[in-house]
C-alpha cells in the first residue's frame, strides 16, 4: 500500500536516546521513514504536515499493565469494550498496551483470551493491543491486594495449558513463584516465549532466586502485593521487594500515579535499581476517567477518592485511575526525573522488558509509527498509532468530561444521547452521537468518554 506520508515538523524530538531540538519525524505506510534535524529528512511534496512547534515529540507510551478504563475492563470480553478502553488510553498517550486480565475463574480468563485473539494488533480506535498480560490466578492469597483471594490457587498444568493455548497473544503472565509447581509453570512460559513475571507473592529471597533460575525475569508492580523484609525470631528474612531491588536479572514496573508509591519511595527504588531495569505502568482499572465517589459493576464496588481507586473499606488501593501521561508527569514534576529519562521509563524500557522493542518503544526508522506530541505541561496534544492520528486535542469536541446515555434510537441510526457531566454528576444536555459509534440496541449508560459524543 502507498498512503500519503505524514511529517511531524518543528518540535523538539526525544527518540528517546537523543534529543533533536527542531526535528522531523516522517511517517509512511504506518512506519517511521526518517527521524532527524529538519535538513536531514526529505519530506515528499504531497506529505501531510503536522506542526509540533512548542511541543515535544516522543515515542507513544507502552503500558504493560492496564486493566481498562472509561467504564470497561478487558475481562468484559467484547470488541466494543476493547475499543473504548484503547481509545481512552490513547488520549493519555498510550500507543501500545498489554491488555491485563485480572484473577478470576479460568473459564472467564479463557473466554476473554478468545475475544482478545481477534483484537490483538487489529484495534483501530486507539492504542494497539500488543498482547495480553494474565495477572493471576496463581497468586498468594496473603498478597491478594484488591484481587479476589477466593479465586487464587496453586498452578495446575491441566488448567494452565488452556490459557497457554493462547501463547500467540499472551506476552506475560504474573505468578507467585513460591506456590507448588510455579517453577515448572515458569519454565513452560519461557518455552512458549511468554515473559514470566513475579507478582502478588509472599516469596522469600531464596524463592525468588529459584524463580530467576527457572526463567522469571520481571517483577509485577514493585512494592504492591509483594513480601518485604520480615523477622523470624532473631533472623531477618528478605522478601520479594529486596530481591527485586538487588537482582539485575529482574526488571520491574512501578505504578506511577503518585499514589501507589509516594515520590520519595520512587526515588529510593530508582536509586537502588537504576533506570535501565525499571519502567512505569498505570495498572488502570475500569473507573479510570471517572469522578470521585462509589461506582458499582456486577456487584463489585470501587471507590474513587484521592485520585486513586480503592476498595470500599479503604483497606487497599484497587488499581489506579491514571493514564500514562499522568505517570510521566508524576516522574518529572513530583519525583524530579529529567523528561528524557521519564520517557524511557514509559517507552523503550517497558517495550524491552516485554520483548516488543524490535518494533516499538523508540523513534527509529523502520519501527511502527507510534508517536505522540506533548505540550509544555506534558499533556497529550496528539496521538499517532501505526501512522494514523487517533487523537487530536485540537479537533476533539469542546464538550469535556462527559459520559453519555442513549435515550432513544431510530431506524435511521441517529441516536439521541443525554450528556452526563463527570464534574457536576448531572445531566447537562441532550444531543446526538455519531451513529457509527453507537452500539445498536444499547439501553444503558454507555460508559464512554466525551469524544464518542458531540
* Window 387 to 446, contacts with Zn ion (CB under 5 A): none
**93-131 burial, b if ≥16 CB within 10 A, otherwise e?**
bbbbbbbbbbbbebebbeebbebbeebbeebebbbbbbb
Of the candidates 283, 357, 406, 449, which one interacts with Zn ion according to CB under 5 A?
283
Closest separation in Å from C-beta 89 to Zn ion: 14
The answer to whether 322 and 257 are in contact (CB under 8 A) is yes
C-alpha distances out from residue 284 to 69, 247, 321, 387, Å = 6, 27, 5, 25
Choice between 280 and 382, CB closer to Zn ion? 280
Beta carbons of 125 and 79 less than 8 angstroms apart: no
* Residues in binding contact with Zn ion, number by CB under 5 A: 2
Q: Supply the minimum distance, in Å, between the C-beta of residue 67 and Zn ion.
A: 6
- Residue whose entry in the numeric block shows the C-alpha cell 479460568: 106
Residue with Cβ nearer Zn ion (76 or 135): 135
Q: Least distance in Å: CB of 327 to Zn ion?
A: 14
Q: What's the half-sphere exposure (Cβ side, CA atoms, 13 Å) at 294?
A: 8
Write down the residue that cell numbers 519461557 correspond to: 190
CB of 135 to Zn ion, least distance (A): 5
In which residue are the cell numbers 469522578 written? 291
Instruction: Kindly state the smallest distance separating residue 27's Cβ from Zn ion, in Å.
Output: 32
257 near Zn ion (CB under 5 A): no
Q: What is the contact mask toward Zn ion in residues 124 to 143, using x (rule: CB under 5 A)?
A: -----------x--------
CA gyration radius, the chain = 22
Chain centroid, CA 279 distance in Å: 12
> Residue of minimal CB distance from Zn ion?
283
For Zn ion, which is the closer residue by CB, 28 or 197? 197
Give the nearer residue to Zn ion in terms of CB position, either 5 or 219. 219
Task: Specify the residue, 12 or 65, whose C-beta has the smaller distance to Zn ion.
Answer: 65
368: DSSP letter: B
What phi, psi does 75 have (nearest 5°)? -75, -10
**Minimum CB distance to Zn ion smaller for 150 or for 432:** 150
Task: Provide φ and ψ at 398, rounded to 5°.
Answer: -70, -20
Interface segment toward Zn ion; rule CB under 5 A; list 84-92, 270-278, 283-291, 368-376 = 283-291
Judged by CB, which is closer to Zn ion: 317, or 420? 317
Distance in Å, CB of 162 to Zn ion, minimum: 21
Nearest one of 56, 89, 58 to 72, comparing CA atoms: 89
Q: Closest distance between Zn ion and the C-beta of residue 101, in Å? A: 9
Stretch that binds Zn ion, among 5-13, 172-180, 277-285, 365-373 (CB under 5 A): 277-285
- Chain residues that interact with Zn ion, rule: CB under 5 A: 135, 283
Amino acid at each position: 500500500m502507498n498512503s500519503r506520508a505524514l511529517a511531524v515538523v518543528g518540535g523538539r524530538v526525544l527518540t528517546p536516546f537523543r534529543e533533536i531540538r527542531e526535528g522531523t519525524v516522517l511517517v509512511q505506510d504506518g512506519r517511521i521513514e526518517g527521524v532527524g534535524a529538519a535538513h536531514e529528512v526529505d519530506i515528499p511534496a504531497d506529505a501531510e504536515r503536522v506542526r509540533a512547534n512548542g511541543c515535544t515529540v516522543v515515542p507513544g507510551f507502552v503500558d504493560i499493565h492496564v486493566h481498562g478504563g472509561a467504564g470497561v475492563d478487558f475481562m468484559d470480553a467484547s470488541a466494543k469494550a476493547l475499543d473504548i478502553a484503547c481509545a481512552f488510553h490513547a488520549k493519555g498517550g498510550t500507543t501500545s498496551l498489554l491488555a491485563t486480565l485480572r484473577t478470576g475463574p479460568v473459564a472467564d480468563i479463557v473466554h476473554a483470551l478468545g475475544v482478545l485473539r481477534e483484537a490483538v494488533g487489529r484495534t483501530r480506535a486507539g492504542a494497539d493491543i500488543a498482547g495480553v498480560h494474565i495477572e493471576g490466578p496463581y497468586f498468594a492469597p496473603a498478597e491478594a491486594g484488591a484481587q479476589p483471594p477466593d479465586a487464587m490457587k496453586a498452578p495446575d498444568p491441566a488448567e494452565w495449558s488452556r490459557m497457554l493455548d493462547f501463547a500467540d497473544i499472551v506476552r506475560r503472565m504474573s505468578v507467585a513463584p513460591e506456590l507448588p509447581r510455579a517453577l515448572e509453570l515458569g519454565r513452560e512460559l519461557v518455552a512458549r516465549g511468554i515473559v514470566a513475571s513475579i507478582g502478588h507473592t509472599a516469596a522469600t529471597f531464596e524463592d525468588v532466586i529459584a524463580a530467576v533460575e527457572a526463567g522469571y525475569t520481571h517483577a509485577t508492580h514493585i512494592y504492591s502485593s509483594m513480601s518485604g523484609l520480615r523477622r523470624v525470631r532473631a533472623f531477618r528474612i528478605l522478601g520479594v521487594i529486596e530481591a527485586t531491588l538487588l537482582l539485575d536479572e529482574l526488571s520491574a514496573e512501578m505504578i506511577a500515579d503518585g499514589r501507589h508509591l509516594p515520590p520519595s519511595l520512587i526515588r529510593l527504588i530508582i536509586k537502588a535499581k537504576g533506570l535501565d531495569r525499571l519502567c512505569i505502568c498505570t495498572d488502570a482499572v475500569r473507573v479510570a476517567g471517572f469522578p470521585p465517589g462509589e461506582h458499582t459493576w456486577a456487584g463489585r464496588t470501587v471507590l474513587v477518592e484521592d485520585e486513586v481507586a480503592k476498595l470500599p473499606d479503604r483497606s487497599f488501593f484497587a488499581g489506579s485511575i491514571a493514564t500514562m501521561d499522568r505517570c510521566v508527569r508524576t516522574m518529572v514534576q513530583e519525583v524530579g526525573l529529567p523528561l528524557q529519562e521519564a520517557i524511557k521509563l514509559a517507552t523503550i524500557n517497558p517495550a524491552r522488558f516485554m520483548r516488543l522493542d524490535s518494533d516499538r518503544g523508540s523513534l527509529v526508522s523502520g519501527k511502527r509509527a507510534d508517536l505522540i506530541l506533548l505540550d509544555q505541561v506534558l499533556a497529550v496534544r496528539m496521538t499517532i498509532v501505526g501512522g494514523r492520528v487517533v487523537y487530536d486535542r485540537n479537533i476533539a469536541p469542546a464538550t469535556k468530561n462527559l459520559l453519555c446515555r442513549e435515550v432513544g434510537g431510530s431506524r435511521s441510526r441517529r441516536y439521541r444521547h443525554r450528556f452526563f457531566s463527570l464534574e457536576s454528576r448531572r445531566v447537562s444536555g441532550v444531543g446526538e452521537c455519531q451513529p457509527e459509534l453507537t452500539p445498536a440496541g444499547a439501553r444503558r449508560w454507555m460508559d464512554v468518554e466525551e469524544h464518542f459524543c458531540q
